[in-house]
């Protein structure tokens, strides 16, 4: 399943790879990979595959509420909650500064077990903030499930130390291998791309790509 989802993400260009002309993040960091899983909501057949993969992973969890992170996790959480007949909530990046000042909308998580749905795990900071929001609201976060992860050690460490299970339906290493198998990367490019998530900050300079301002 991980390989099939990786293939779909590459096919629909939700994830792009370029070892020769890498992408530039807002920080100026160079990267051979760019992920925009929001693209997948446009494709009914393929998004159904992703929802099916989510539901397979969720069989190992016991939860009351499906909560999507704002904004990219919301459509996936919506489809999953409909599929599983579970109440739905969504989690803002921060509390509103007006009205009831809620950070979590929809189903109340107080006293409930909650599964959080994400589209992408990068450094893990925003995703773990959603975990903390559930806990602050009196809920129990039983885990975070996402479509894709860059596989950064920082994210794994954050979730481990925060005592929260993190699961993704595919990942960086799987995706680059699928790209190689499908002729999108040759051996040298595979080695260059695979080296990125071990040291993302130093990768550009190491491979001759200077940071951009």
Does some domain include residue 23?
A: yes
| pLDDT for 117 | 98
| pLDDT for 102 | 84
Does some domain include residue 86?
A: yes
pLDDT surpassing 80 at residue 44: yes
| pLDDT for 211 | 66
Does some domain include residue 212?
A: no
| pLDDT for 64 | 98
Could you identify the residue written with the tokens 């509390």? 95
144-166 burial, b at 16+ Cβ within 10 Å, e below that, comes to bbbbbbbbbeebeebbeeeebeb
Does some domain include residue 162?
A: yes
- pLDDT, one tens digit per residue, over 72-81 is 999 999 999 9
Among the residue ranges 14-23, 41-50, 90-99, 137-146, the one predicted with the least confidence is 90-99
pLDDT band for 101, please (50, 70, 90 cuts).
Answer: low
Does some domain include residue 211?
A: no
Instruction: Select from 148, 119, 113 the least CA-distant residue to 131.
Output: 113
Structure tokens belonging to residue 151: 């596989």
- Distance, in Å, from the CA atom of 9 to the CA atom of 6, rounded to the nearest integer, reads 5
* Mean pLDDT within 33-53: 97
Among the residue ranges 96-105, 164-173, 176-185, the one predicted with the least confidence is 96-105
Could you identify the residue written with the tokens 């989510």? 54
| pLDDT for 25 | 86
Helix (H) or strand (E) run with residue 168 in it: strand 166-168
Structure tokens belonging to residue 182: 């499908």
Does some domain include residue 37?
A: yes
User: What's the CATH number where 125 sits?
Assistant: 3.40.50.2020
Count of structural domains, the chain: 1
Boundaries of domain holding 178: 2-206
Does some domain include residue 25?
A: yes
Largest CA distance in the chain: 56
| pLDDT for 140 | 98
pLDDT surpassing 70 at residue 98: no
């Amino acid at each position: 399943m991980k390989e099939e989802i990786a293939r779909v993400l590459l096919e629909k260009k939700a994830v792009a790879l370029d070892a020769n002309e890498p992408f530039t993040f807002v920080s100026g960091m160079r990267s051979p990979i760019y992920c925009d899983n929001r693209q997948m909501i446009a494709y009914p057949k393929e998004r159904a595959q992703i929802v099916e993969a989510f539901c397979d992973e969720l069989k190992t969890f016991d939860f009351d509420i499906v909560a999507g992170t704002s904004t990219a996790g919301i459509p996936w959480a919506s489809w999953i909650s409909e599929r599983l007949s579970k109440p739905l909530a969504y989690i803002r990046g921060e509390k509103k500064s007006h009205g009831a000042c809620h950070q979590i909308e929809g189903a109340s998580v107080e006293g409930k077990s909650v599964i959080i749905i994400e589209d992408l795990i990068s450094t893990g900071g925003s995703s773990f903030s959603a975990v903390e929001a559930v806990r602050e609201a009196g809920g129990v976060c039983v885990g975070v499930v996402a479509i894709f992860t860059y596989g950064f050690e920082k994210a794994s460490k954050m979730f481990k130390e925060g005592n929260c299970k993190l699961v993704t339906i595919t990942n960086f290493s799987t995706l680059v291998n699928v790209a190689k198998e499908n002729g999108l990367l040759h051996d040298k490019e595979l080695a260059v791309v695979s080296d990125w998530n071990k040291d993302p900050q130093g990768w550009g300079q190491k491979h001759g790509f200077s940071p951009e301002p």
